[in-house]
Amino acid sequence: MRTIHLAATALLTGLAAAGCSSTAPEPQDMARTTVQTAPADLQLTCASAAATSAGVDADKVLPVGSSQLDATRYQVELNASGQRYTCVVDNMGTVTSVQKAA
The two beta strands, 73-80 and 61-68, are: antiparallel
Residues 50-79 within binding reach of other proteins (CB under 8 A): 58-66, 79
Among the listed residues 3, 18, 41, 102, the single contact to other proteins using CB under 8 A = 41
CB 95 within 8 A of CB 46: yes
> Residue 6 Cβ, how far from other proteins at the closest point, in Å?
28
Output the smallest distance, CB 70 to other proteins, in A.
19
Q: If you compute the radius of gyration of the chain from its CA atoms, what whole number of angstroms results?
A: 20
By CB under 8 A, residue 16 contacts other proteins: no
Q: Determine the Cα–Cα distance for residues 90 and 4; give it in Å rounded to an integer.
A: 41
Can you tell me which of 19, 29, 55, 71 binds other proteins, judged by CB under 8 A?
29
Cβ-based neighbour number of residue 44 at 10 Å: 18
Q: Does 3 bind other proteins (CB under 8 A)?
A: no
Q: Compute the least distance from the CB of residue 67 to other proteins, in Å.
A: 9
What are the residues whose beta carbons fall under 8 Å from the beta carbon of 58, sequence distance 6 or more?
Answer: 47, 48, 51
Question: Which residues contact other proteins (rule: CB under 8 A)?
Answer: 22, 24-25, 27-35, 37, 39-45, 48, 58-66, 79, 81, 93
